[in-house]
A and B are shown apart, each in its own frame.
Chain A
Amino acid sequence: MSAIPLRKDALFPTPVLVHSSPAHPAAPVIEERARKAAAKAPATGTGYRRVRAPEWLVSALAMALGIAACVAVWEMVSKFNASIPNPAVVGKAAIAIFSDPFYRKGPNDQGIGWNVLMSLQRVGIGFGLAALVGIPLGFAVGRFRFLSDMAAPIIAILKPVSPLAWLPIGLLVFKAANPAAIYVIFVCSLWPMIVNTAVGVRQIPQDYLNVARVLNLSEWKVFTKILFPAVLPYMITGVRLSVGVAWLVIVAAEMLTGGVGIGFWVWDEWNNLKVEHIIIAIITIGVVGLALEYVMVMLAKRFSYN
């Protein structure tokens, strides 16, 4: 019964439906488009088969269209609000900035490349330390019920705390901006790492552990051949979440602590009232975050076994 209406739908494409409802406000536009398409058809069609654009081309066009729309809105906003620089101004400033990303004129005036690298370095160190601590801790918490019960209330209470709330304590303990920022990254990366690793350990199917038991594998073999590979995808999810959060947090932390870094740069340009530079910074932060995410997804793909 359902087959017949389905075929009908396929036989009568949308323009027919539009004709049947002339009251539709968009109808004239669509009709016009249809007429144009019809006029074009003899030119492109060879008469044998319809040439369709490949899917990637369509999605690339859609992406370009999305970005163009965004820029258009921005242009409009800048027209009505003089304090927002328009895309052309920002573009010019971006060319100037990116033509010399690695200059150094004293400690507080360095190229955007240095600022990004400094931020990445802080994220890398804080995050690496968090992995060193969090992953083994996650294994332990996942493997032993007692430890899990011990850790549960601490993690539950500390996880929802904004990492920036830890900053004063960091400043107090380390008495310097840079280690305090690293320490904030460490704290915010730690929870996703512990939680995801622990979940990974807990979900290992009993079947795999039974294999280990039947073969009577050594503890080392159990770890390398069963526990570790089974948990790896979860661990990478934890790493991915951590890196994402860390990149969000570093900008805010640097705004508060100063020094060299993309977050500090944003603050500095705000003090100089160079709004075009702030917009450039926003886009740069977004692109770097995207790149980090991409690397992590690639890593996850490489190590997933399904």
Chain B
Amino acid sequence: MEKFLRVESVGMKFETKKGDFVALTGIDLTIRKGEFVSLIGHSGCGKSTLLNLVAGLLRPTEGAMLLAEREIAGPGPDRGVVFQNHSLLPWLTCFENIHLAVERVFGAGESKAQLNERVSRALDLVHLTPAAQKYPHEISGGMKQRVGIARALSMEPKMLLLDEPFGALDALTRAHLQDELVKIVAAAGSTVLMVTHDVDEAVLLSDRVVMMTNGPAATIGEVLEVGLPRPRNRLALANDARYMACRRSVLEFLYQKQLKEAA
């Protein structure tokens, strides 16, 4: 049981015009290699902040963060990030957006044709081959998010950091991409940290669900071991007792233990 990511008593304080704002405090979290962990909590509690800390986009104001026994000093292509707002570059086509990432990771060792092949495969995975030559402003919000997912996956990162990757998708596409994600992750053995609002998504995809308390000064409230065997079938699980129990305990945390503070 290798500890891949270690977050140790991490706190995050933002300096704002109205004084310091403590977003996170006392966060302790370890993630094993190949584990799938979801972060769930009410809006504004600091999920994106924690994800950005792991991504290296923010530096913690307290505590330490280690990835594969190395201090996280900054962002790097070993952690593929799907941003909450997809963050595609508007002057590049979908193809070029992904190509930028692929070229960075594999450009040194592979031919142009191989790189293009990788981009095409990534686009195909999210069913966007027909939109390859379109610009981000020419496609829908859900499609943009899929390009963002394809970009992160195309880098074949050791760790995937997903910030509500399926947020803007319709139920069908969402289910399809969730299944794809599980397959890809299983095949590549990637470690995943995913932020979500969706209780079913968290339980269905994760090995563990990390539940965060409300901010300010949010921290980890409870951690749920899902413990359902893989591969999981969403239809079969609908009536599964263990699945229902997991779902229930996350819902209880969110809507009983944390609701009053949110109001």
Contacts and interface: CB of A to CB of B under 8 A. Distances in A.
Interface of A: 207-208, 210-211, 213-217, 221, 225-226, 229-230, 305-306
B57 A214 contact: yes
Given A214-B57, A215-B100, A216-B104, A207 B87 contact: yes
A207 B100 contact: no
B101 to A, nearest CB: 6
A213 B74 contact: yes
B57 A210 contact: yes
B100 A214 contact: no
Nearest to A232: B91
B85 interface: yes
Interface string B23-60: 00000000000000000000000000000000111000
A225 B92 CA distance: 8
Contacts of A208: 87, 89
B89 A214 contact: no
Interface string B70-103: 0000111101110101010111100000001100
Given A207-B87, A214-B77, A221-B100, 5 more contacts: A211-B89, A214-B79, A215-B155, A216-B75, A225-B89
A207 B163 CA distance: 13
A306 B75 contact: no
B100 A225 contact: yes
Nearest to B81: A214
Contact of B77 (A207, A215, A230, A306): A215
Contact of B90 (A213, A221, A305): A305
B3 interface: no
A217 B74 CA distance: 13
B87 A210 contact: yes
A173 B155 CA distance: 58
Contacts of A210: 57, 75, 81, 83, 87
Interface of B: 55-57, 74-77, 79-81, 83, 85, 87, 89-92, 100-101, 104, 135, 137, 155
B101 A215 contact: yes
B77 A226 contact: no
Given A214-B75, A215-B101, A305 B85 contact: no
A210 B74 CA distance: 11
Contacts of B91: 229-230, 305
Nearest to A213: B75
Contacts of B87: 207-208, 210-211
Best-buried of A211, A230, A305 by chain B (most CB within 10 Å) = A211
Nearest to B92: A225
B85 A215 contact: no
Contacts of B81: 210, 214
A217 B104 contact: yes
Contacts of A305: 90-91, 135, 137
A216 B89 contact: no
23 contacts: A210-B75, A210-B81, A210-B83, A211-B87, A211-B89, A213-B56, A213-B74, A214-B57, A214-B76, A214-B79, A214-B80, A215-B77, A215-B155, A217-B100, A217-B104, A221-B100, A221-B104, A225-B89, A225-B92, A225-B100, A229-B89, A229-B91, A306-B137
Which 8 residue pairs are nearest across A and B when measured between Cβ atoms? Answer: A229-B91, A305-B91, A207-B87, A213-B75, A214-B75, A305-B90, A214-B81, A215-B104
A306 B101 CA distance: 22
Contacts of A221: 100, 104
Best-buried of B85, B100, B137 by chain A (most CB within 10 Å) = B100
B101 A207 contact: no
A207 B88 CA distance: 9
Contacts of B85: 207
B74 A207 contact: no
Contacts of B76: 214, 216
Contacts of B55: 214
Contacts of A214: 55, 57, 75-77, 79-81
Contacts of B89: 208, 211, 225-226, 229
A217 B57 CA distance: 14
B167 to A, nearest CB: 16
A306 B83 contact: no
B9 to A, nearest CB: 25
Best-buried of B74, B79, B83, B91 by chain A (most CB within 10 Å) = B91
A208 to B, nearest CB: 6
Contacts of A226: 89
Best-buried of B75, B77, B101, B135 by chain A (most CB within 10 Å) = B75
A213 B57 contact: yes
